[in-house]
Amino acid sequence: MKLLGEKLRVVNVGVRLFYECVKAQGAEAIHVEWRPPAGGDEKLARLLEKLDRPEIDEANKKAVEKILAATPTLIDIKTAKDVIPGMTEHTILHSGPPIEYERMSGPTKGAIWGALIYEGLAKDQREADKLVASGKIKFAPCHDHDSVGPMAGIISPSMPVFVVENKEHGNRAYSNLNEGLGKVLRYGAYEASVIKRLKWMEKTLAPVLKDALKRSGPIDLKAIMAQALHMGDELHCRNVASSLIFLKLMAPHIAATGFGKKALGEVMKFMGENFLFFLNPAMAACKATQDAGHGIEHSTVVTTLSRNGTDFGIKVSGLGKQWFTAPAEIPKTLFFPGFTEADANPDIGDSAIMETAGFGGFASAAAPAVVQVVGGSPSVAADYTREMGEICLVKDGSLSIPFMNFEGIPRCIDMRKVIDTGILPFINTGVAHRKPGFGTVGFGVLRAPMLCFTKALKAMADKY
């Protein structure tokens, strides 16, 4: 009864309306954001409870240690078929989880046609389609071959690839070279100019860079990423600073190669004008890093987030090679002039490896300019980074964000936390035209689909 006599002070949990009514009547009240675990799904909540076990915490600790200790280093540029495990003359790797040709998205098909033309295996789209129908071409996810590629993520046998070694654990990862924006293979364009650029990259860019790299020695990629976080990059959609730092490190050695001044000038211009040039080595760096934490029994750490333009797929450390998939969604996009929502392909690319490793949307606070693109502000950007901290196991102090008071980026997503809180990974991404042959239509943001995580939760509960 004493309570009723006192001045009313209310802590409201759950539905906000009660809080607002209490406030409106002049009483003191605070509102606590709260949702029931697993969004109130009793079955999921019970599975979650089952996974609240010390051996899982131990396994996750191990995964975190390995991921934080990884030292991804650029050591070479080689031809894909010479270096990617399992790659043959007739293998085409693509982004995201496995998918049959028929279900592939427009940009993926366009990029495959382009790659077959580039390889000299087909003269045009019609021949390329026929070749695919013959069953001679083997498709497989980049991720299942120690590789990553942005957007369509097509890696064909003759393409030059960055060779990244995680010096700490000895594993390697590969990625193709970035073509720039506009009409480019990775966004599904396959016209003559696209093939010509790919040939120039193979015949000029790659040999010059390979030679320069021999002179410079191995390049510490994590060090570049750490610097770039202090210079406005989130390293997924904004690689402005990282690309410049990489150019700076390579430029004296490029100049020293002795290639002709035409080639040198072209290479410097190509690298300098492409603010996404460093995205690809950064992706390979994150792939080499995440792979170090993969395959640890009992671990619920998410080691892969990826999309093929049709499906979104994730992998979990303790669940081996299995993908857990759900339909890919369309990003909230800022379209380039002339394009609309109707042109956008669903989410596509291995580049969400950046978010998986704590960059991109997870490091939004480092690059408010990216959030601004889709109507956000610097404080909204900081909120995204804080929110992603809720589903991660650690903050990596060696990759800090000045405007979060030099706090580290959130790393190592725990699948259990995603389901418990209902907070889904936030991803920055390029957006492709849904038809083959068009290319880039804009930049956007979106969340990973919950279905991938609930499927993985069930598999985890089944397995252990």
* Chain contacts with its own copies (rule: CB under 8 A): 230-232, 240-241, 244-245, 247-249, 251-258, 261-262, 264-269, 272, 368-369, 372, 377-379, 402-403, 405-406
> Smallest distance from the beta carbon of 256 to its own copies, in angstroms?
4
State the nearest-atom distance from the C-beta of 377 to its own copies, in Å: 6
- 101 vs 138: CA distance, rounded Å: 10
**Minimum CB distance to its own copies, residue 249 (Å):** 7
What is the three-state SS of 150-174? CCCCCECCCCEEEEEEECCCCCEEE
Determine contact, residues 161/77, Cβ cutoff 8 Å: yes
Residue (189 or 366) nearer to its own copies, CB? 366
* Cβ at position 267, least distance to its own copies in Å: 8
Q: Which two tokens stand for residue 104?
A: 């592939």
- By CB atoms closer than 10 A (0-12, 13-18, 19+), residue 216 is middle
**Is 309 within 8 Å of 291 (Cβ atoms)?**
no
Which CB atom, from 135 or from 258, has the smaller least distance to its own copies? 258
265 torsion bin: left (phi>0), alpha (psi -120 to 50), beta (else): alpha
CB of 280 to its own copies, least distance (A): 18
For its own copies, the closer of residues 249 and 354 by Cβ is 249
Q: How many other CB atoms are there within 10 angstroms of residue 321's CB atom?
A: 9
Closest separation in Å from C-beta 53 to its own copies:
40
Closest CA to 145 of 85, 74, 91: 85
We find the least distance from the C-beta atom of residue 270 to its own copies, in angstroms, to be 9
Place of tokens 């390579």: 250
- 67/366 with CB nearer its own copies: 366
Name the residue nearer to its own copies (CB basis): 247 or 334: 247
Those residues whose C-beta lies under 8 Å from the C-beta of residue 7, and which sit 6 or more positions away, are 27, 28
Sign of CA pseudo-dihedral 181, 310, 280, 404:
positive
- Residue type for position 273: E
Nearer to its own copies, 263 or 450 (CB): 263
Cβ 164 vs Cβ 284: under 8 Å: yes
Q: Which C-beta is closer to its own copies: that of 162 or that of 275?
A: 275
Other CB atoms within 10 A of residue 79 CB: 15
Nearest approach, Cβ of residue 230 and its own copies (Å) = 5
Distance CA 151, CA 352 (A): 10
Tokens of 411: 């790393």
Handedness of CA 22, 24, 25, 27 (dihedral sign): positive
The nearer residue to its own copies, 252 or 327, going by C-beta atoms, is: 252
The residue among 68 and 241 lying less far from its own copies, judged by its C-beta, is: 241
CB atoms inside a 10 Å sphere around CB 381: 25
Show the beta-strand stretches assigned E in 336-375.
348-349
**CB of 360: closest distance to its own copies in angstroms?**
17
Measured from the CB atom, the residue of 14 and 375 that comes closer to its own copies is 375
Identify the helix (H) or strand (E) that includes residue 279: helix 279-292
Give the shortest CB-252-to-its own copies separation in angstroms. 4
Distance CA 81, CA 111 (A): 18
